[in-house]
Amino acid sequence: MVFAAIRPGKLLSLLVLMLGLAGCATLPRGAGLEREVLRQPRSVNGEAVPADFTIAPVTRALLPAYAAWPAVGEERLPWIERVDQPNQRIIAPGDTVSVTVWTTESNGLLTAGSERFAALPNMRVSSSGTIFLPYVGTVTVSGMAPETARARIEERYAEVSPSAQVQFEFTEGRQNRVSLVGGVAQPGPYPLPDQDFTVMGLIALGGGVSQGLPNPQIRLQRGGRIYGTSVERLLETPRLDTTLAGGDMIYVEADDRTFLSLGAAGTEAMHRFNQDEITAIEAMAMIGGLSDFRADPKGILILRQYPPEALRPSQQGPQTERMIFTLDLTSADGLFSAGEFLIRPDDVIYVTESPITSVRTVFGLVGNVFGLVNAAPGN
């Protein structure tokens, strides 16, 4: 074999060459070293180059400053808090009412012969909130509970037929209905059972949130405006369970925020937010941690881009549009700080490769060489 001809001196030279290659980082690797990624050009053609990015270590001392920086990549939709309403149904314009008038009189104004009742079905409440009834004229019913409207109509009919008794029913129209558009088991229009009906009550009536939606988000369309929050937030804060109004449109959708993991991470992939807030340590768990024998636990980088209007002097905000936050997972402060540092949408978590990896590769190659030499004939 060819290795049998390699003398010890040449083997030593080969070893030195391999170590030199490792030091020059020319061996194949799956990720860059931290010093390589964070290296900035000082000049181009002899002219000074301003810093293209700023390095920001994630430590306990700096966490409060970072938390006060402008949030990026977040869709800030407003939301409406709950307003307690009477737990009863209220008639609105567009509803359909049916009135039945009972009387003991024979051949009265409303009945003839042996009949004892007169049915007045399917009368639509006008835009002004009224209905027209024979012999009593226009009666306002909008804004009333069904029992109140029944008593008002019976009072009017008692003026022309003293023995009259009124039976009253109504069916909700568009102004007393809400629409559950999607993201639930049973979407569709739903009548408001009362004026204290809430968003979570409607979702429950629709069969609950569809399976498989990561961190489901609720969108409420009312009066030309869109409001938004998450199911998680509503469950944690009951006062945010908004009271619905007629004509509201509700839909549930998946959280579309993502972050990316690259380098010597457990997985290189796009990851969806599975809760409202994700810390750096939670994100590390989501990406499968660090790649064994490759990753540098002192070189976890979080790359984030800020808009120009977010830049601030000193520590009041980012100094450059491109910021690189560095994590050291080999210290207690680094681990605790990673548990408080929030990942933002579109962040890139880059796990650098350990410099020991190259050395380990070289020693593996050297071991293979010596193994081949020892296995050669005559050794």
CATH value at residue 225 = 3.10.560.10
The total number of structural domains in the chain stands at 4
Instruction: Indicate if 237 and 269 belong to the same structural domain.
Output: no
Q: Domain end: 253, 281, 316, which one? A: 253
Q: How far lies 30's CA from each of 74, 181, 301, 303, 354, in Å? A: 32, 46, 15, 18, 11
Q: Domain end: 253, 278, 301, which one? A: 253
Helices (H), 107-246: 146-158, 199-205, 231-236
| Nearest Cα residue to 366 out of 10, 28, 24 | 10
> Is residue 191 included in any domain, yes or no?
yes
> Is residue 91 included in any domain, yes or no?
no
Instruction: Indicate if 333 and 268 belong to the same structural domain.
Output: yes
What are the pLDDT tens digits along the chain (379 aa)?
444 445 555 555 555 555 555 555 455 566 788 888 888 776 666 676 677 899 999 999 999 999 999 888 877 899 998 887 767 778 888 888 999 998 887 766 777 667 788 889 999 999 898 999 998 999 999 888 889 999 999 999 988 888 889 999 988 877 788 999 999 999 999 988 888 899 999 999 999 999 889 999 999 999 889 999 999 999 999 999 999 988 999 999 999 999 999 999 999 999 999 999 999 999 999 999 998 788 999 999 999 999 999 898 777 889 999 999 999 999 999 999 999 999 999 999 999 999 875 545 444 444 554 454 455 555 5
| Nearest Cα residue to 302 out of 282, 324, 321, 270 | 324
> Is residue 83 included in any domain, yes or no?
no
| Nearest Cα residue to 227 out of 74, 73, 72, 76 | 76
> Is residue 87 included in any domain, yes or no?
no
> Is residue 208 included in any domain, yes or no?
yes
Q: Which domain does 163 fall in, by range?
A: 96-171
Amino acid code (one letter) for 340: E
Domain with residue 104: its CATH number is 3.30.1950.10
> Is residue 309 included in any domain, yes or no?
yes
Instruction: Indicate if 267 and 335 belong to the same structural domain.
Output: yes
Q: Domain end: 144, 171, 198, which one? A: 171
Amino acid code (one letter) for 216: P
> Is residue 85 included in any domain, yes or no?
no
Instruction: Indicate if 125 and 60 belong to the same structural domain.
Output: no
Instruction: Indicate if 328 and 295 belong to the same structural domain.
Output: yes
Instruction: Indicate if 109 and 159 belong to the same structural domain.
Output: yes
Instruction: Indicate if 145 and 209 belong to the same structural domain.
Output: no
Instruction: Indicate if 273 and 191 belong to the same structural domain.
Output: no
Q: pTM of this prediction?
A: 0.69
> Is residue 64 included in any domain, yes or no?
yes
| Nearest Cα residue to 72 out of 325, 338, 241 | 325
